[in-house]
Amino acid sequence: SQKIEQNSEALNIQEGKTATLTCNYTNYSPAYLQWYRQDPGRGPVFLLLIRENEKEKRKERLKVTFDTTLKQSLFHITASQPADSATYLCALMNTGFQKLVFGTGTRLLVSP
Amino acid sequence: NAGVTQTPKFRVLKTGQSMTLLCAQDMNHEYMYWYRQDPGMGLRLIHYSVGEGTTAKGEVPDGYNVSRLKKQNFLLGLESAAPSQTSVYFCASIVGWSPSMNTEAFFGQGTRLTVV
C-alpha cells in the first residue's frame, strides 16, 4: 500500500540548533515533493518544492533534500527560533500531476 | 484578494443529517482538493477536481460526494452524516499543471464539523 510517513512524535530542540525532519514514502513515484507549515487552527502554508531530478533546495534558513533511491526527503531549519514551532507536513504530487497527498506531519517545538 | 474561502467555519450535525461544505477560490485555479484532518492522521484526500465539470476519488471518499459545476467552486456533500465524519475539513487549490511550474497549494481556513 502507499504510505507517506513522518515522525509522529514531536521534535523538541533548543533555539539556535538545526531541526531535521524526515519524510519517507513507499509505493509512490512522485514528480515532486513539497513541505508545508501548519499552525494550530490554520490551514497549511507552502514552504518549499523540490523536483524528482533535484537533490537539494534552499530558501533562507530552510533546506530540503530529496533522495528518490532512498524514497526520503529531509527538511532542515537552521538557527531555529521559537517562532518556528509548528507542525510540518510533507506532500507528494504523483507523476500524473493530479493527486496531492500528504504525510501525517511532525510537530516541532523550539525552546528559548 | 480572498484566496480560498470555506463556508461554514463551524457546524454541528446530528447523525443522519445532510450538509454541503462550500469552497470558493478567486485565483482562477484549475485544481481543487478536499481533505479531512484528524488527530495524528495528517491530511487525507477525500476527492479532487482537475477542472470544471471533473471530479475524482481520493484516499477516503466513502460517505462523501463532490461537484465542480463552476471553476471557482468545489462543493463537498455529506448525504447522511455519521460520527466518524467528525473532523476538520480543508479545501485547497492549485493553479494547474506543467512540470516546470513551481506550484503550491493554497488552503482555506478549514471547517470544523462535529456529528453527534
pLDDT in tens, A2-38: 889 998 889 999 999 999 999 999 988 888 899 999 9
Question: A102: distance to nearest CA of chain B, Å?
Answer: 6
In the numeric block, which cell numbers belong to residue B103?
A: 506550484
Question: A30: distance to nearest CA of chain B, Å?
Answer: 12
Q: Which among A44, A91, A99 has CB closest to B48?
A: A99
Query: Per the CB < 8 Å rule, is A42 touching B106?
Result: no
Smallest CA-to-CA distance from B68 within B7, B23, B36 is with: B23
Computed on alpha carbons and rounded to an integer, the radius of gyration of chain B in Å comes to: 14
Q: Which of the four pLDDT bands, split at 50, 70 and 90, describes residue A87?
A: very high
Whether B106 and B96 have beta carbons less than 8 Å apart is answered as no
Smallest CA-to-CA distance from B73 within B87, B95, B56, B93 is with: B93
Say what the pLDDT of residue A1 is. Answer: 76
Residue/partner pairs of B78-81 with CB below 8 Å, 24 or more apart: B78/B13, B78/B18, B78/B19, B78/B20, B78/B21, B79/B18, B80/B16, B80/B17, B80/B18, B81/B13, B81/B14, B81/B15, B81/B16, B81/B17, B81/B18, B81/B19, B81/B113, B81/B115
Residue A74 has pLDDT above 70, yes or no: yes
Whether B77 and B85 have beta carbons less than 8 Å apart is answered as no
Query: Per the CB < 8 Å rule, is B105 touching A46?
Result: yes
Query: Per the CB < 8 Å rule, is A91 touching B105?
Result: yes
Digitized pLDDT (tens) for each residue of chain B, 116 residues in all: 679 999 999 999 999 999 999 999 999 999 999 999 998 788 999 999 999 999 999 999 999 999 999 999 999 999 999 999 999 999 999 988 766 666 899 999 999 999 99
Say what the pLDDT of residue A2 is. Answer: 82
Say what the pLDDT of residue B40 is. Answer: 77
Residues of A in contact with B92 (CB under 8 A): 43-44, 100
Residues of A in contact with B35 (CB under 8 A): 102
Q: How far is CA B106 from the centre of its chain?
A: 12
Q: How many whole angstroms separate alpha carbon A101 and alpha carbon B32?
A: 13
Residue A60 has pLDDT above 80, yes or no: yes
Residues of A in contact with B97 (CB under 8 A): 97-98
Query: Per the CB < 8 Å rule, is B33 touching A45?
Result: no
In the numeric block, which cell numbers belong to residue B53?
A: 465539470
Query: Per the CB < 8 Å rule, is B105 touching A98?
Result: no
Q: How many residues does chain A have?
A: 112
Q: Which residue of B has its CA nearest to A9?
A: B40
